């Protein structure tokens, strides 16, 4: 499907936003737990090397406290990604340095050191960011290993650590792919729920929601609002004469013609059948009338080819300007519908107000 083939570039920003929101949500909850675990594992230090357990315990505590700065948004302009990276650096450095202070700690503590790497896929949001997040602890690990391990131990540790980094990178790429797919599918679902599949205009459900919001805003701030009902004249005749396929082409042509005549601030969509609906916010009745006439003329000029014939249609438009007597958006919509009937009774291909 087309939405699955959507470019990764177009999804990068929403994916990053979602990852940022997830990190902001989980950091205050998981961060303190990880910091507490870092300190609690002083018990492991005591069982491995009692002589240096106090020293390593102090190191764990210091780095747990340093990491705590990142669990909550205390520092201004520090994003959740920055805070998560800092927390990872401090917690990983605490594990590595405390292990290096113990006899055989880097050898026996490889499991704990490697576990920290598997948090990186949840923090990094791309290859460059992955390198930034993982580089400081990695450099610290290799430096400590070179100083505290024999050559065979160093080689074995480097192999294990490098393998874990590779797995973490693959996990990150898979996580990014899944996030992109999730955002893409979500976009498609939202589009299907808010758009008409034939014309690609907004559908009735979306229009009704926008109408309610526009009415509420206009009522609150005492601004002007106009609803417009549009109906294609003699559309049944088009279907009967040229067939429903041509009728579909006519609907699409009308949709494009109306869109081309609207302003950027206007809301427009298909209610169903041959009926369309437009919302003119912050618009006077005269300005709405001028826009409606521009729409009517654009539709009348549009042509649809059906075999050897050229099909042209017209539309009738009913306008309703919000007044004190309108207690709800449904009242205003009903008034616009009444104005549309006036346009039909007046001979069609015209604009009438309530």
Domain termination residue (choose one: 157, 192, 227): 192
Across 188-214, average pLDDT: 95
Structure-model confidence comparison of residues 120 and 15, the more confident one: 120
Give the largest Cα separation in the chain, rounded.
100
CA distance 82 to 23: 10
Kindly report the CATH number assigned to the domain that includes residue 290: 3.30.70.270
Q: Looking at the structure, do residues 188 and 209 belong to the same domain, yes or no? A: no
234-278 residue pLDDT tens: 999 999 999 999 999 999 999 999 999 999 999 999 999 999 999
- The per-residue pLDDT for 125 is 85
Q: Looking at the structure, do residues 187 and 259 belong to the same domain, yes or no? A: no
- Global pTM exceeds 0.75: no
Q: pLDDT band for 13, please (50, 70, 90 cuts).
A: low
Q: pLDDT band for 38, please (50, 70, 90 cuts).
A: very high
DSSP symbols for 147-180: HHS-HHHHHHHHHHHHHHHHHHHHHHHHHHHHHH
**CA angle at 244 for the pair 239 and 249, rounded to the nearest 5°:** 100
pLDDT at residue 15 tops 90 = no
Q: Looking at the structure, do residues 290 and 181 belong to the same domain, yes or no? A: no
- The per-residue pLDDT for 186 is 87
Q: Looking at the structure, do residues 293 and 176 belong to the same domain, yes or no? A: no
60-97 residue pLDDT tens: 999 999 999 899 998 888 999 999 999 999 999 999 99
Is residue 188 a part of any domain in this protein? Answer: yes
Across 40-48, average pLDDT: 94
Structure-model confidence comparison of residues 1 and 214, the more confident one: 214
CA distance 105 to 89: 19
Instruction: Report CA dihedral (234, 235, 237, 238) to the nearest 10 degrees.
Output: 130
304-348 residue pLDDT tens: 887 777 899 999 999 999 999 999 999 999 999 999 999 999 999
- The per-residue pLDDT for 207 is 97
Q: Looking at the structure, do residues 254 and 159 belong to the same domain, yes or no? A: no
Domain termination residue (choose one: 192, 227, 246): 192
Q: How many domains does the chain have?
A: 2
Across 118-139, average pLDDT: 93
For residue 32 the two structure tokens come to: 């303190």
Domain termination residue (choose one: 192, 225, 258): 192
Residue 124 sits at φ, ψ, to 5 deg, of -75, 140
Across 159-180, average pLDDT: 93
Domain of 18, in residue numbers = 2-192
Q: Looking at the structure, do residues 151 and 217 belong to the same domain, yes or no? A: no
- The per-residue pLDDT for 305 is 85
Are the C-beta atoms of residues 19 and 180 closer than 8 Å to each other? no
Is residue 199 a part of any domain in this protein? Answer: no
Parallel, antiparallel, or unpaired: how do β-strands 304-306 and 267-272 relate? unpaired
What is the overall mean pLDDT for the chain?
A: 92
Q: Looking at the structure, do residues 230 and 304 belong to the same domain, yes or no? A: yes
- The per-residue pLDDT for 19 is 85
Q: Looking at the structure, do residues 239 and 170 belong to the same domain, yes or no? A: no
- The per-residue pLDDT for 298 is 96
Q: Looking at the structure, do residues 179 and 224 belong to the same domain, yes or no? A: no
């Amino acid at each position: 499907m087309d939405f699955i083939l959507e470019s990764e570039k177009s999804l990068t920003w929403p994916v990053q936003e979602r990852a940022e929101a997830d990190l902001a949500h989980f950091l205050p909850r998981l961060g303190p737990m990880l910091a507490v675990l870092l300190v609690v594992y002083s018990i492991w230090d005591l069982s491995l090397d009692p002589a240096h357990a106090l020293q390593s315990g102090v190191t764990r505590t210091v780095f747990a406290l340093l990491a705590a700065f990142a669990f909550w948004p205390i520092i201004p302009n520090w994003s959740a990604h920055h805070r998560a990276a800092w927390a990872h650096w401090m917690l990983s450095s605490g594990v590595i340095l405390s292990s290096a202070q113990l006899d055989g700690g880097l050898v026996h503590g490889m499991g704990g050191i490697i576990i920290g790497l598997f948090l990186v896929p949840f923090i990094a949001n791309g290859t460059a960011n992955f390198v930034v997040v993982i580089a400081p602890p990695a450099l610290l690990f290799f430096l400590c290993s070179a100083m505290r391990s024999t050559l065979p131990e160093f080689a074995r540790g480097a192999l294990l650590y490098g393998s874990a980094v590779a797995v973490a990178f693959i996990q990150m790429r898979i996580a990014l792919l899944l996030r992109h797919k999730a955002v893409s599918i979500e976009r498609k679902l939202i589009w299907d729920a808010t758009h008409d599949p034939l014309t690609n205009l907004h559908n009735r459900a979306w229009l009704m929601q926008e109408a309610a919001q526009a009415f509420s805003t206009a009522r609150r701030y005492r601004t002007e609002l106009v609803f417009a009902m549009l109906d294609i004249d003699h559309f049944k005749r088009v279907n009967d004469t040229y067939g429903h396929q041509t009728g579909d082409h006519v609907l699409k042509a009308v949709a494009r013609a109306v869109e081309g005549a609207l302003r950027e601030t206007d809301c427009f969509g298909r209610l169903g059948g041959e009926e369309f609906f437009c919302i003119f916010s912050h618009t006077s009745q005269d300005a709405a009338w001028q826009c409606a006439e521009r729409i009517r003329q654009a539709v009348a000029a549009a042509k649809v080819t059906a075999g050897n014939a050229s099909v042209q249609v017209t539309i009738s438009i009913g306008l309703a300007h919000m007044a004190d007597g309108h207690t709800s958006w449904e009242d205003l919509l009903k008034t616009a519908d009444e104005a549309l009937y006036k346009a039909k009774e007046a001979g069609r291909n015209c604009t009438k107000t309530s």
